[in-house]
Amino acid sequence: MIGRVRLLLAAIAFLKRHALLGVGRTLRSYKTLIPVAVEYKHGLDTGTNATAMEAMHARNAPRVLAMIHNLKGLYTKVGQVLSVRTDELPAAYVAELSTLQDALPPRPFRGVRAQVRRTLGRAARNLTLADGPPLGVASIGQVHRARFGGRDVCVKVQDERCRRQFKSDMAGCRVFCQLFSPGYLAMLDEIRRQFDTEFDYRHEAANLDEIRANLEARGERRVVVPKSVPALVTRTVLGMEFLRGPTLLSYAKRRVAAIERLPFFLRAVPYAFLRLELGRYYRVLVEVHGAQLLLDGCFNGDPHPGNILKSPDGTLGLIDYGQVKRIDDVMRRRLCLLMLALADDDDDAVVDAFVATGFRTRDMNRTVIAKYAHLWFNRDDRRSTDGMEPMKYYDELNLADPTVAVPEQLILASRMTWLLRCFGQAIGVRDVRLAREFRATALAALRTPVMLALGPAPP
Ligand SMILES: Nc1ncnc2c1ncn2[C@@H]1O[C@H](COP(=O)(O)OP(=O)(O)OP(=O)(O)O)[C@@H](O)[C@H]1O
Ligand SMILES: *[C@@H]1O[C@H](CO)[C@@H](O)[C@H](O)[C@H]1NC(C)=O
Ligand SMILES: *[C@@H]1O[C@H](CO)[C@@H](O)[C@H](O)[C@H]1NC(C)=O
Ligand SMILES: *[C@@H]1O[C@H](CO)[C@@H](O)[C@H](O)[C@H]1NC(C)=O
């Protein structure tokens, strides 16, 4: 309980410090955050009981959410990242924050249509945007259904103000990091680079096409990636094939709600079925993303539950390729070797493999390096983190032996594995060991001609 509140305080502190550095919007966020933080601090100091704490969460969650809605941009991202940590956050916040996954208040339709006409020019003549609320609204854009030359498509339209705001937010964040937590700088810079490209939808269209082609080449039919529509692609507009289905997250929630309406002695069986079904989807996601990372070296770094659609035919629609990362063959081979060592719990080999990727700490303490590696790519359940919340554990490792160099190419890979682990935990998979699930794919990758040209494969 207290651990969860601590994490929340840390998140609020992050938002607060960050808000301090923005201009203009500062006051608005301060008005929300200060009273919330004060209330929690007081609660912690006076040892308020669990019931009273829950009431505090229920009261504050909508306030924090309203603030995030107001500020958009980076705050939405922080909110999204936090909302998948269902194991860490108080339930009231999860409920409120998870609405960020796909339900921000939309921009008025007329403005969106005008922007689409302006940027698409002639091609817009054949495009009919469906009037009414968007399919989805996210941090920097919103998605509308449309018809184009007889096809069902959807167009993602970027809110151009977000881009300017984001740039100044990130700059502020960096100054803060430099002063107070340089350990996070590399990570922040990598995230910023990724977001920079995320603001140009032409990159995203290219990503869609590449990931789609890779899946097709492997004959993968359990997941679908939307086709881009080249005539409808500009920096701020992205037209693509429309995929059916709710997000996997809202599907799961709806099923749970339906089961909860049954008398409690009838719930066990449908719950077991739901867990089986979600477990099947989890394995598909793990396999598909493992192959993207280790076989293709081109992967989606942001597979959060709001980006996974469950279509009626049982396939999964994987959308949102704003944060795709490519890693080169040399680094990919090192990562495969690291995954094998992690999967086999061979910590000596883990340390050698991780150091080979360019990872360095101040003292090069092998015990600590092995722990970093497991946390980055393999496991973060309580047994693996000495009972600590993972971010806290990461901070502890940084205190024991701070990182001085991290392989930039692997930061988003770590985030991707972390999101998959969160998903596993959220559906009740105990003690997720992701490297073990990636093992066969890592071996297969090491035995491809490209990899064999770089070095021998393990037996
Ligand atoms: N091809 C598609 N078919 C059907 N619905 C889609 C499609 N693409 C996007 N959507 C809907 O629009 C929403 C937002 O799309 P998307 O996640 O691509 O936006 P984003 O701005 O990149 O979001 P994020 O902040 O999650 O990165 C999705 O959650 C989904 O509901
Ligand atoms: C918790 O504290 C509140 C007020 O501080 C009190 O009214 C309530 O009875 C307490 N509940 C328990 C279970 O101790
Ligand atoms: C619009 O569609 C028509 C018929 O499908 C096609 O002939 C024409 O070239 C299209 N115009 C543009 C600008 O794409
Ligand atoms: C490495 O770090 C661990 C944990 O912090 C510590 O117990 C150990 O003494 C360190 N080893 C060396 C050689 O410094």
d(CA 388, CA 111) in angstroms, rounded, equals 47
Residue with tokens 């007329």: 110
Please tell me the pTM assigned to this model: 0.75
What residue spans of 72-184 are helical by DSSP H? 74-83, 91-98, 109-120, 160-180
384, 385, 389, 369: which is closest to 436 by C-alpha?
A: 384
Taking CA atoms only, the protein residue closest to ligand 4 atom 11 is 365
User: Of the bound ligands, which one is closest to the alpha carbon of residue 50?
Assistant: 2
Taking CA atoms only, the protein residue closest to ligand 1 atom 23 is 138
Mutate to test the pocket of ligand 3, among 122, 126, 147 (most ligand atoms within 8 A of CB): 126
What pLDDT is attached to residue 183? 54
Mutate to test the pocket of ligand 4, among 347, 362, 368 (most ligand atoms within 8 A of CB): 368
pLDDT in tens, the chain (459 residues): 334 444 444 445 444 444 433 333 444 455 555 566 666 666 666 666 777 777 777 777 667 666 655 555 555 555 555 554 444 455 555 555 555 544 456 788 898 999 999 999 888 889 999 988 888 876 678 899 999 989 999 999 998 776 776 666 566 556 655 654 555 566 567 656 766 777 889 999 999 999 999 999 999 999 999 999 999 999 999 999 999 989 887 888 888 889 989 998 888 899 889 888 989 999 999 999 999 999 999 999 888 777 899 999 989 999 988 778 899 999 999 999 999 999 999 999 999 999 999 999 999 999 999 999 999 999 988 888 888 877 678 778 888 998 888 887 887 888 889 888 888 877 777 788 999 999 999 999 999 999 999 999 988
**Residue 209 in contact with residue 428, Cβ under 8 Å?**
no
- 308 C-alpha to center of ligand 4: Å? 42
d(CA 274, CA 263) in angstroms, rounded, equals 17
Tokens standing for residue 310: 């469950």
Sign of CA dihedral 434, 435, 440, 441: positive
Q: Would you tell me the crossing angle of helices 268-291 and 434-446 to the nearest 10 degrees?
A: 30
- Supply the DSSP symbol for 103: B
Q: Would you tell me the crossing angle of helices 390-400 and 366-377 to the nearest 10 degrees?
A: 160
What pLDDT is attached to residue 214? 97
Contacts of 150 (CB under 8 A, 6+ apart): none
Contacts of 288 (CB under 8 A, 6+ apart): 215, 220, 222, 223, 318
What pLDDT is attached to residue 39? 67
Could you tell me where the beta strands, DSSP code E, fall in 213-264? 223-224, 228-233, 237-241
Atom of ligand 4 nearest to the CA of 365: 1
281, 259, 277: which is closest to 268 by C-alpha?
A: 259
* 215-226 b/e (C-beta count within 10 Å ≥ 16 → b): beeeebeebbbb
**Residue 86 in contact with residue 94, Cβ under 8 Å?**
yes
d(CA 380, CA 138) in angstroms, rounded, equals 28
H or E element, residue 188: helix 185-198
Q: Which residues line ligand 1 (CB under 6 A)?
A: 102, 135-136, 138-141, 143, 154, 156, 226, 240, 242-243, 247, 306-307, 319-320, 322
- 83 C-alpha to center of ligand 2: Å? 28
Helix (H, G, I), strand (E, B) or coil at 326: strand
Contacts of 307 (CB under 8 A, 6+ apart): 247, 300, 318, 319, 320
What pLDDT is attached to residue 403? 82
Atom of ligand 3 nearest to the CA of 122: 13
